[in-house]
Structure 1
Amino acid sequence: MERSVSNNFNKAVFNQALLGFLDASPTPFHAVQQMTDLLDLSGFQALDERTVWQLAPGAGYYTVRNGSSIIAWRQPTDYKGFSKGFRFTGAHTDSPCLKVKPQPEMLRQGYFQLGVEVYGGVLLNPWFDRDLSLAGRVTVRDTQGQLVSHLINFDKPVAIIPSLAIHLDREANSARSINAQTFLPPILGQLTSKADFRALLKQHLTDQGVDNLDAVLDYELAFYDCNKAALVGLDQEFICSARLDNLLSCFIGLQALLASAAGPGQVLICNDHEEVGSASACGAQGPLLSQWLERVLPAEVNRYEVLANSLFISADNAHGVHPNFADRHDDNHGPQLNKGPVIKINANQRYASNSETSALFRHLAEQVGVPVQSFVVRSDQGCGSTIGPIVATETGIPTVDVGVPQFAMHSIRETAGSDDARNLARILQGFYQTETL
């Protein structure tokens, strides 16, 4: 894996690296592993939360919590640099999906199935008739009685959720609703007796070279689409993949950080559990960022001065205007793919952008020649949210919500523009290297 795609963010190289990152990251655990591999190759030092940290000016570090959230940063080049504040980029590692239940085994009509739980606001219809695989984290007890966790990825089609034929559901195209409990259990094969799922996991780990296994005790596993990320369109105008929301922003932020030279404090935080409210030990509403601030800011530095001089760019994808459903957007706020990243604004504070932070982002974009769009939800519709308002509320850091426009948010396969990710990375690289905000 390359250290970074390039300081110039060549479009072809950037997008090919992005496709590889998406394919290798079927779960938040795998995404964070990919990110730590890149950070290691770039000379960043891993820090364990259970130890004392010794931090050097200008050096790069990262720390991981729960295997699914990460903070990566460069220290300011000198202590005077703290007064200039930190440049934060925030994203999230999780995506809506179907997670395997703790006791999932089902045997119905001779078919072996697994019970699943819906994670986040899943767009369910696209999950039918897909080649599905299974990935996540498995915690085992070894033959010495030690508990050890392993990442697991079957990395091949192992399941499918077949649709009911139109002949048996004549209203499927006009009035179909999906029962998450009864419609969604994937089929993994045909058996005469119910299989032990934990035994199957143990065998898979053994086949992958994990030795000295005693028992699989627990797991966090999710199904995912085996279809690879791809460039699509007559001129490859689009990127299509699972989990663009929000692995796209994780990759963008990481590449911007790796391509930046040391200077002011530069931070990338990617939290898990945004899709379910962010309330967890490693979520944005949890203590991860505040505890990191306590450890990184030295005693002689006024923390509130540092935060007041900082900016947090919350990067999470935006709704591009769909040509078949243009009426779902405000007439003046329909972002188009490949027309630049989007500033997201909401009068009811579902986004944290204000006139000052939005103006600063526009200014940063102008410095690198990247156009910017705006998104405001229709006044007769509800608005989603991001980690931006949570961070602003918890820390007081000035915050702006931005994102790459996309189609089919929360589908099993989403679409974004092939220019937009690279252009947002260019803005974030300039942001990381800006001496004064």
Structure 2
Amino acid sequence: MSYPARFDRGHTDDLMTFLAASPTPYHAVANAAERLEKAGFRQVAETDAWDGTSGGKFVLRGGAIVAWYVPEGAGPHTPYRIVGAHTDSPNLRVKPQPDTGAHGWRQVAVEIYGGPLLNSWLDRDLGLAGRLALRDGSTRLIDIDRPLLRVPQLAVHLDRSVSTEGLKLDKQRHLQPVWGLGDAHEGDLIAFLEEEAGLQPGEITGWDLMTHSVEPPAYLGRDKDLLAGPRMDNLLSVHAGTAALVAVATAAGAAGSELPYIPVLAAFDHEENGSQSDTGADGPLLGGVLERSVFARGGTYEDRARSFAGTVCLSSDTGHAVHPNYAERHDPTHHPRANGGPILKVNVNNRYATDGAGRAVFTAACEKAGVPFQSFVSNNSMPCGTTIGPITAARHGIKTIDIGVAILSMHSVRELCGADDPFLLANALVAFLEG
């Protein structure tokens, strides 16, 4: 099969559109699903019986999506090639009783999700988005993408030590955003959302709401060789994985060619707080989908075991580019640079799942795609982060390699990467999924 058309800077332009349209995990998977449907994929319900026909399919569950393409000639024991990612990002999320305030200020009560850089949320114009649960049992997405809330920082005149001793924030007292003047009344926020969504009073009975910066993604720098934007950890990988799966499926369908693997995209929720949920990587979603696909193609448990034994997963998540102002925080011999290509993440204590054999798989994909790659390892004197990679490997017994794109300002409300790295990653993912 011929290699699909290569992604270029147009892919990065499209990433900007995807980021702006995906303020929450629910929006991210809805946007990914829309792109898959345009490419001929169809949604299958988990409550329905599945058939073993060829073609593209996907499952949506909350803020997670698993999509796969069964090529012509795939057998029940055909192994998978999986791109794994996560849809959630650290932010401020609305509490069950959201209406609060003091001293003539109306505020919204929020809880801290994940591990955000708290100072980056100060003095930002924030919108509100998420999922509404309605009285009739349905759900609806909402996105108020205009300045609605703000977490005001204390003036320097009232805290002279901030410039010498650093900013110190109490998560409970200092991060409740304001959204108006007057006294707070129970039900104000939900009544406002019902009006915004065109709903009748009392229709909303549940919600999963979160704040987001309304500042759009933008190219940055003299040569516009950098990209600044929200939620690149890890919607950058979700977008690249979706684009790669569509490219491989489209090329295979047009050529009528057989693929040696079944390409898969698995984008999970809740990575930022441990992945332990029914939509997280530590839940049964991925394993259930892969097993049902085997059985739908007439397979047995033996076929399932053979399929999983030959399966490989690339867990794609952002990592740390070398910081020009804090180079001593990085390993002295591993300095990933922006626009240097995707990074291969290694940690011998299994905070990342990459081993030597996995490196060989990723090397082959990058060589096929003509994409450079870099190695990342943490400074020995600092704790190493982790991803869905080790969880996926341990839970499903499949070979997993941790990769990603190097960025600055990880977990900030606005992160920074090289403008070429998103499409370099996508090209490497295409080569990997093709096998």
TM range (shorter): over 0.9
Query: In the alignment, does 2:40 pair up with 1:49?
Result: no
- 1:140-163 CA distances to partner (integer Å, 9 max, x unpaired)? 22xxxx222110111110011111
Equivalent position amino acid for 1:253 in 2: G
Match of 1:320?
Answer: 321
- Structure 1 position 77 matched with structure 2 position 72: yes
Instruction: Give distance in 2, aligned partners of 1:13 and 1:418.
Output: 10
The alignment status of 1:129 with 2:123, answered yes or no, reads yes
Instruction: Deviation per CA, 1:282-336: give whole Å up to 9, x if none.
Output: 1000010111122111324621221121110000011000101111001111100
Alignment of 1:24 onto 2:21: yes
Residue 200 (str. 1) matches residue 201 (str. 2): no
5+ residue gaps, structure 2: 253-258
> 2:372 maps to what in 1?
371
Q: Aligned equivalents of 1:149 and 1:368: distance in 2?
A: 41
For 2:388, the equivalent position in structure 1 comes to 387
Query: Using the alignment, how far apart are the partners of 2:106 and 2:373 within structure 1?
Result: 50
* Residues 347-405 of structure 1, C-alpha deviations (whole Å, 9 max, x = no match): 10000000001111012101121111111101111011000000100111111000000
Task: Measure how far apart 1:413 and its partner are.
Answer: 0.3
TM-score, structure 2 as length reference: 0.93
In the TM superposition, what whole-angstrom CA distance separates every residue of 1:62-99 from its partner, at most 9, and x where no partner exists? Answer: 01112x1000110132244x545111000000000000
| 1:161-172 equivalent positions in 2, closer than 5 A | 161-172=151-162
- Which of 244, 254, 257 is the aligned partner of 2:242? 254
Kindly provide the amino acid, as one letter, of the partner of residue 120 in structure 1.
G
Q: How does 1:15-414 map to 2 (within 5 A)?
A: 15-57=12-54, 59-66=55-62, 68-80=63-75, 83-141=77-135, 146-175=136-165, 176-194=167-185, 196-206=188-198, 210=199, 214-260=202-248, 261-262=251-252, 263=259, 264-298=261-295, 299-300=299-300, 302-414=303-415
CA contact (8 A) 2:319 2:404 kept: yes
Contact residue 83 and residue 309 of structure 1 kept, 8 A? no
Q: SS at the partner of 1:410?
A: coil
Any conservation in 1 of the 2:321–2:338 contact (CA below 8 Å)?
yes
Q: Say whether the 8 Å CA contact 2:244–2:426 is kept in structure 1.
A: yes
**Alignment partner, residue 422 of structure 1:** 423
Aligned length: 418
> What residue number does 2:255 align with?
none
Unaligned segments of structure 1, at least 5 residues: 1-5
For residue 18 of structure 1, give the secondary structure of its aligned residue in structure 2.
helix
Between the aligned partners of 1:204 and 1:73, the Cα distance in structure 2 is 36
Provide the rounded CA distance (Å) in 2 between the counterparts of 1:231 and 1:7: 27
AA aligned opposite 1:282: T
In 2, are the aligned partners of 1:140 and 1:213 still within 8 Å (CA)? no
State how far apart, in whole Å, the 1-side matches of 2:179 and 2:139 are.
24
- Percent identity for Structure 1 against Structure 2: 40
Measured against aligned partners, the alpha-carbon deviations of 1:211-262 in whole angstroms (never above 9, x if no partner) come to x564321111001001001111111111111100000000000100111133
Residue type of the partner of 1:224? H
- The one of the two structures with greater contact order (alpha-carbon pairs below 8 A, sep at least 6) is 2
Q: Give per-residue Cα distances to partners, 1:151-178, cap 9 Å, x unaligned.
A: 0111110011111010100111232211
Amino acid at match of 1:156: R
Cα distance in 2 for partners of 1:366, 1:100 equals: 46
- Aligned residue for 2:256? none
Provide the aligned C-alpha RMSD in A.
1.4
Q: In the alignment, is the contact (CA less than 8 A) between 1:107 and 1:194 conserved in 2?
A: no
Residues 213 and 297 of structure 1: CA distance in aligned 2, closer, same or farther (over 3 Å): farther
Moved over 4 A (4+): none
